[in-house]
Structure 1
């Protein structure tokens, strides 16, 4: 069994958020999947630019808890102001479906805790 790496969890979270953005009619200007390189998505909708910072959070972490990333998010928000963009945080909780105490494995079921974008 292959435990998903931090990069693989990040990519999974980005796929979940990217699909939501696409379904909501966002147009992607840039996508960055490199860990700790923000934002992950630069997109537009209704002629407004949006920066989206995506974080994969493994159980028992709380994907709605932004405190751990506040310095990153503050830098992003300052950067976004220069581009007249709005900044959003997308925390995606991921947990092994069979046993919450086990890591997320490749090709095994997992649960997602994601409530959408949070404006910062």
Structure 2
């Protein structure tokens, strides 16, 4: 981005670009680059499914994998039986909106606890 800013400054100095046009370009460059950095670091996190009950289960899935599978996560046999009643679209929305922390907490009648967390 530094190179692009320098080019905009050069165009202003040469009189080929007005200050207001330069401001619009710099604003667009800032918006374009900032979310990408945030998204890259966010997408390195994991979706964790933690089951505390008769069966102790901890599943960590990279968010990149979850995002690329879209709704298919609910069909992975290792977690399918623990996701009964979980809205997968809620999880995908959380990923799309860069949400961190607990997404789903379920306490079953038989004492099992299921947590889905983005960390």
Q: Which has the higher strand share?
A: 1
Per the normalisation by structure 2, the TM-score is 0.28
Per the normalisation by structure 1, the TM-score is 0.28
Which protein is bigger by CA-based radius of gyration?
Answer: 2
Q: Which has the higher helix share?
A: 2
